[in-house]
Amino acid sequence: MRIKFQADQSATTEIETVSKNVSTRGLLVRSPSAIPLCTAVSFILSVHGKQAVRPIYLAGEGEIVRVENDIDQDAFLIAVRCKRPLIQLEEYLPV
């Protein structure tokens, strides 16, 4: 999963994370770096299934609502509340 956010007034940051769980209202990710609370984010999530021919790409926007230090994994657990339901990105699928 890739998350984009404004790190400051002039720079957009993009980080690679791993989703822990996903629901219609939000998701929990493990990230190598923290993202401040209340930060607006956009993201693309690739979903891989055992019997899937190719991954499905979902996009969304949301806000960071919780950040916890995951000491065991040397990472951060970050909760994102979605603004609206996730959408499938057709343009990412090969023709």
| Contacts for 22 with CB less than 8 Å, ≥ 6 apart | 45, 86
C-beta separation of 21 from 27 below 8 A: yes
- Comparing CA positions, the residue from 90, 95, 89 lying closest to residue 2 is 89
60 has a pLDDT exceeding 70: yes
Q: Where are the domains of the chain?
A: 2-90
Measured CA to CA, the distance from residue 49 to residue 41 in angstroms comes to 25
Query: CA 55, CA 80: separation in Å to the nearest integer?
Result: 22
pLDDT digit string, tens, across residues 14-56: 999 999 999 889 999 999 999 999 999 999 999 887 877 888 8
Residue 62 has pLDDT above 70, yes or no: yes
- CATH of 2-90, picked from 3.40.50, 2.60.40, 2.40.10, 3.40.190, is 2.40.10
Residues 84 and 60: beta-carbon distance below 8 Å? yes
Is residue 91 scored above 70 in pLDDT? no
Contacts of 40 (CB under 8 A, 6+ apart): 5, 6, 61, 62, 63
Residue 74 gets which letter from DSSP? T
